[in-house]
Copies of this chain bind each other. A is one copy, B any other.
């Protein structure tokens, strides 16, 4: 009897883990495709990404309901309880990642009104690649529970921030060159910010995993804010 309960509980947990993995893969793909749509002015792909978001909303609700049911039914203790709560938290982060991807996709039309220089797109792509690698890695850690790998992520956090700030600066400069660039570049600025926030969600997930596995708060001071707030681009003053 007892084994039965234990096995069935494990199955419930495993099911939640699988749904979470499905959300992770889906969210990654949405962001990847949103950035592709942006770079290639592909309105059709953008539309697909926007429609794809529904899966994440639905699956988050499903995970929430099942997780709460699981707690009520099984009354798990300590580590198990943390794991279920962790599922709720991580699914909320992944749902937000999908929203950010959708928001990028929604800007595709406005951005492609005017042709933007290739270097901007390359910068966005590189930023997205970095943020998605961060997300993928953190989800791998979730699957393998090897929290010692989380400490290596901090470097990439710094890289994402640095790349975002430099892209921010480049976009501003480009806006100053020609007022016709202002509206589309503003949208690109928000796209960059969205990608940077994906890195932030990856960090949230890392913290949750650390907490789930160890029962402690992650000891590393995290850089939660981007550094672009003090970017002031100097104009050539006559």
Contact = CB atoms under 8 A, between A and B. Distances in A.
Contact of A99 (B89, B110, B224): B224
B229 A106 contact: yes
A59 interface: no
Nearest 10 CB-CB pairings of A with B: A106-B229, A75-B75, A176-B179, A107-B229, A183-B233, A175-B182, A110-B230, A183-B232, A110-B232, A113-B232
Interface string A64-90: 000010011001011001100100110
Contacts of A183: 172, 231-233
Interface of A: 61, 68, 71-72, 75, 77-78, 81-82, 85, 88-89, 92, 99, 102-103, 106-107, 109-110, 113, 172, 175-176, 179-180, 182-184, 186-187, 189-190, 193, 217, 224-225, 229-233, 235
B68 A82 contact: yes
Contacts of A186: 172, 175, 186, 189
A89 B60 CA distance: 13
User: Which of A71, A81, A109 has the most chain B CB atoms closer than 10 A to its own CB?
Assistant: A71
A230 B81 contact: no
Contacts of A99: 224-225
Contacts of A179: 175-176, 179, 235
A182 B187 contact: no
Contacts of A81: 68, 71-72
B82 A230 contact: no
A184 B232 CA distance: 7
Nearest to A171: B186
